[in-house]
Structure 1
Amino acid sequence: MQSVSNIKSISYLKSHAAQISEDLELNGTPYVITQNGEASMVIEHVKQFQEKERLIAVLKIIALGANDRQQGKGFSIEESRSQLKAARQSRK
């Protein structure tokens, strides 16, 4: 897990929003924003957010595939290969 070095108060966020935005663009290190001394939110660059969303989507697909495989759904390697071979031959 990534260590958090940018811990700032919400008042710092209010007065330094542009600086935080520039820092996120340059460094990519997320900020933990505190309110009343407790972590309240995390601010990260949109690229990091999108990357995490894509990773979550891929992990969900992998988990669904693993569940299907455990339930006996899907095709064996041999079945998949024969279907691919038949599809290729039908295109010729």
Structure 2
Amino acid sequence: MKLSTQIKPISYLKSHTAQIVKELAESRQPMVITQNGEATLVVIDVKSYEERENTLALLKLLALGNAEIEQGRVRDAEDVFADLDQAALP
């Protein structure tokens, strides 16, 4: 992904909103909006946003799992499944 081709001033966003929405939905590439010559925001389509949020959630779960492993908070899978089997019995 090359952001340098997707940099537009805020005035372009104001005057071409419908076109930008269509382009982002089709290309799924983010667009950087500048104000006074500085990057101020990134605009992305909803599908890309949802994918990024899901990816971040998974990465957080992995980080939590790694932290628990480092703290020694682990159990053998056999023990876990045995406990689950016991809990399922009437």
TM-score (norm 2): 0.86
Residue 45 (structure 1) aligns with: 45
The answer to whether residue 75 in structure 2 is matched with residue 78 in structure 1 is: no
TM-score (norm 1): 0.84
- Percentage identity across paired residues of the two chains: 43
Structure 1 unmatched ranges of 5 or more: none
Name the SS of the counterpart of 1:34 in structure 2.
Answer: strand
Name the SS of the counterpart of 1:83 in structure 2.
Answer: helix
Matches within 5 A, 1:10-49: 10-49=10-49
Structure 2 unmatched ranges of 5 or more: none
CA RMSD in angstroms comes to 1.6
Count the aligned residue pairs. Answer: 89
Deviation at 1:42, TM superposition (A): 0.3
